[in-house]
Structure 1
Amino acid sequence: MSVTTTPAKDRVPFLEKAAFGSGHLVNNLLPGALGVFSFFLLTAFGMDPFLAGLLGGLPRLFDAITDPIMGYISDNTKSRFGRRRPYIFVGAILSGLLFMLLWQLDPDASQMYNFWYFLIFSLIYLIGNTMFSTPLIGLGYEMTFDYNERTRLMGFSQVIGQIAWMIVPWFWVLIANPDLFETQAQGVHQLAVIVGIACIVLGIMPALFCKEVDQTNLDKREKMTMASVLENLKELIRNMKLIAQNKPFARLCGSTFLVFNGFQMVASFSYFIIVFHMFNGDYGMAGTWPAWFSTVSALATAFLIIPIITMLANKYGKRNAFIISTIISIVGYLLKWWGFSPENPWLIFMPIPFMVFGIGGLFTLMMSMTADVCDYDELQHGMPRKEGSFGAIYWWMVKLGQGLALVLGGLVLKVVGFDPALSEQTAQTMVNLRLADIIIPSVTAALAVWVMWGYDLSEERAREIKDQLVARRGEL
């Protein structure tokens, strides 16, 4: 149990927390909107499902390359504005503008024209988005060096970030509403502009109001010049090897991969179960129940679960808080069997307060623990500090899990016999789908608990490391 008071110099003011949270809102809103809008590639722009799948997968491969490079560049940048903030500012503007352009496809153009238009702009958009998101994550790891304040900061930012998931499910309803837009394509065009502008305004907030760590003692940073590209590449590879050998970080990545991958694999199943099990394939009767299910999940995560997890982490430690929250999420997954009831649709909200402990605890605690791991890495290997690189690799693991989940989720649907072209599914198919919806995330969550059982960066150890680093740097 923590009994240490956070020093004044390690407390993050409310304005900075709000600005950092604003950045996380953008970091959730962009991929959330991208996921919803991608559905309309098929219905509004006539894209072949296989080509649409390629448009979802190919950019992720590119993203996996750019993230570590941007993390390395951010870690080693020297400027009077800081290591992170210049990239966040420019990246936010580019992300918003390019997101708008990305979705200005022509519904009357050929399929291959739209395919290449979307693929090319996706790659360009990812450069801008990586320039924004990777330094933003690194900034969060260095805004405070206090064990508990890190959890409070990450918890607050996750609460703000959850607002995106309260909004995104309703994009389906808005775009497909003929009273708002003449066509779905028009809905995509106009809503993309609104999302892009919002992301620019909210995204520059961390660059304007968040303070970076004092750069005085950040020595041994590499020179970022065209002449030193080869040496920089060698150093990047060396950093990647050192990070891969970091055992506490490996546990964080492994458990994140399991929890997030298990959750994402079945994320779309709830929609199908609501429509085909609860309402017998009648989309009209299902109405807005799927959107409300997602929105209430986000509301519960933001205003109930994250505050509880932050309290648990400060009282019992981050590792124990993760184990407790993950076990509670398994209870929530099991309750879905009774919650998705054709007799009483309101019961779909019953599992939510338990189930969302999984994702709510995951990113709040893992981001806080990654900041502790950055201290541990500096103690082991010295300068330069590698917050950007750690953040890039961690989120690359998240994206890898998400990409794999999309593939495996489709495979599971095929194995259980689900056919979205049918207005009604067989009783056995729905039983199989409901079992998969419960068993898959429960098993991966249990495996994540096992992985994290040996995590040994406790609060006491983290504070010892912090004291040693302060003494090594010659700081007061």
Structure 2
Amino acid sequence: MAHHKTNPKDIVPIGQKMAFGAGHLVLNLLPGALGIFMFFLLTAFGMDPFLAGLLGGLPRIFDAITDPIMGFISDNTKSRWGRRRPYIFVGAILSGIFFIVLWQLDPEDSVNYNFWYFLIMSMVFLVGNTMFATPLIGLGYEMTSDYNERTRIMAFSQTIGQIAWMIVPWFWVLIANPDLFETQAIGVRRLSIIVGAVCLILGLLPAIFCKGIDSAHMENRKKITFKTMFSNLKDLLDGIVQVSKNKPFMKLCGATFLVFNGFQLVASFSYFIIVYYMFNGDFGAAGNWPAWFSTITAVITAFGVIPIVTWMANNWGKRNAFVISTAISILGYILKWWGFNPDYHWLIFLPVPFMAFGLGGLFTLMMSMTADVCDLDELRNGMPRKEGTFGAIYWWMVKLGQALALVLGGLVLKVVGFDGNAAVQTAETIRDLRIADIVIPAVTAGLAIVIMWKYSLNETRAAEIKQILVDRRGEL
């Protein structure tokens, strides 16, 4: 495959890559910690399971609405600091502070009080988090115009982001440890302060050090004021329609929806299989095996899989890298049948290096390809560039799939006959659960390969588009 040499001016300095990676660590650490802490709404704060489910789902709906709005605002912002960085700076501060405030619950308060407090503060937290996350994603798409450097940036950021998943599984162990915290509620409150402070500090780094595209002379940006609110809404909807007509982008969204949410749908199954199959329902004997499984997966993804995927993308093309890495992950899912072994516990790590190619390759490649798609959109629809809108809609698809996966995951557990109140599950239930744990993500990954098989925006086409845009803008 023919390759071009990256122009030195298109190479992003290592310092900027590290700052952007720090932002991605925050993007992973906040939702990861949120997911773990949500478990303690039941055990530490006495929340009704149905109400806890609402607290997990209702804010996601709100989040799905605010993402495209924030993307549109950052696309059209004019400031001396660029389109994205002011929002990232303010959003990092608000995200860290509101995450801390969100978890200052007291089990002595009534369930109704805690429910409304958490629901309202979740909305407030998500406003700050959206202000941080959506512009950060858009900034990453515009840090370079080079086809291969985009992959390297995303690979670097995803590697640093995986550090969050090496840490997060141990939050459950820390909070539940009576030697560290007098009660689980105290553990949640204190650990949230540490997480919020770390995310605030790391979140400021991309706002301070990263540089996006020079937008000083970018044409056709909309005026963002209260008076133009209704016309802005029409412009936002028009932009979403334009994005939805971008076939390469919709292929990326479809493939991501399938791979990520096929994985998410069965994500909790591994924990149940470890406890109820490998350790016959003995939570004490299962100990830290689930946490180690998650942590080792993140380590292999960060330092093994992502560098390999990056090499494949730069040498064989991004589409080919996606197809190969996704096919390898299917092999990993199949190996779980032998890896989850009640007689040889260490075999649990057998499928990990193969499974890790699924998500490790997915976001590294898809975020890089979305940046290419933004060039295609500028070619077809002109200025302003819509990195924020593309990023918001892409992640809206991810969040929609997550919500659907939570619902369908519970449905699958019900169909296989899983009983959370039973100390021991039936042999038929365990068998069917293990089959679902393999078949569901393997099938969705296979469908994603079918969707991406004829993806056409390769390196040659991307280079052609870039040259047309350079000529159109009158750049040297």
Q: Same fold, TM exceeding 0.5?
A: yes
Contact 2:266 2:441 in 1 (8 A): yes
Q: Deviations over 1:355-397 (max 9, x none)?
A: 0100001000000000000000000000010000000000000
Aligned counterparts of 2:2 and 2:348: Cα–Cα separation in 1: 37
Instruction: Give the corresponding residue for 1:242.
Output: 242
Aligned counterparts of 1:411 and 1:424: Cα–Cα separation in 2: 20
Aligned counterparts of 1:366 and 1:2: Cα–Cα separation in 2: 21
Q: Deviations over 1:171-201 (max 9, x none)?
A: 0000000000010000000000000000001
Contact 1:2 1:316 in 2 (8 A): no
Structure 2 gap segments, 5+ residues each: none
Q: Map 1:238-277 onto structure 2 (within 5 A).
A: 238-277=238-277
Instruction: Give the corresponding residue for 1:42.
Output: 42
Instruction: Give the corresponding residue for 2:371.
Output: 371
Contact 2:42 2:49 in 1 (8 A): yes
Contact 2:10 2:144 in 1 (8 A): yes
Runs (4+) of structure 1 exceeding 4 A deviation are: none
Instruction: Give the corresponding residue for 1:100.
Output: 100
Instruction: Give the corresponding residue for 1:228.
Output: 228
AA aligned to 1:185 is A
Question: Residue 430 in 1 paired to residue 430 in 2?
Answer: yes
Contact 2:331 2:355 in 1 (8 A): yes
Aligned counterparts of 1:323 and 1:3: Cα–Cα separation in 2: 20
Question: Residue 173 in 1 paired to residue 173 in 2?
Answer: yes
Instruction: Give the corresponding residue for 1:145.
Output: 145
AA aligned to 1:228 is T
Q: Map 1:298-377 onto structure 2 (within 5 A).
A: 298-377=298-377
* TM value normalised by structure 2: 0.99
Aligned counterparts of 1:457 and 1:110: Cα–Cα separation in 2: 55
Contact 1:255 1:449 in 2 (8 A): yes
AA aligned to 1:288 is N
Percent of aligned positions that are identical = 72
Aligned counterparts of 2:223 and 2:217: Cα–Cα separation in 1: 16
Question: Residue 448 in 1 paired to residue 448 in 2?
Answer: yes
Q: Structure 1 residue 217: deviation in Å? A: 3.5
Q: Structure 1 residue 216: deviation in Å? A: 3.2
AA aligned to 2:221 is R
Aligned counterparts of 2:108 and 2:216: Cα–Cα separation in 1: 57
Distance 1:41 1:2, change over 3 A: farther
Contact 2:271 2:290 in 1 (8 A): yes
Q: Deviations over 1:408-434 (max 9, x none)?
A: 101101110111111110111000000
AA aligned to 2:394 is Y
AA aligned to 1:354 is F
Count of paired positions? 476
Contact 1:28 1:164 in 2 (8 A): yes
Q: Deviations over 1:221-260 (max 9, x none)?
A: 0111111111111100100100011100000000000001
Aligned counterparts of 1:166 and 1:408: Cα–Cα separation in 2: 27
Aligned counterparts of 1:218 and 1:420: Cα–Cα separation in 2: 57
Contact 1:335 1:350 in 2 (8 A): yes
Instruction: Give the corresponding residue for 2:68.
Output: 68
Aligned counterparts of 2:240 and 2:214: Cα–Cα separation in 1: 25
Aligned counterparts of 1:91 and 1:357: Cα–Cα separation in 2: 32
Q: Deviations over 1:52-86 (max 9, x none)?
A: 00000000110111000000000000000110000
Aligned counterparts of 2:409 and 2:444: Cα–Cα separation in 1: 14
Question: Match of 1:365, SS?
Answer: helix
Instruction: Give the corresponding residue for 1:287.
Output: 287
Contact 1:2 1:317 in 2 (8 A): no
Distance 1:97 1:145, change over 3 A: same
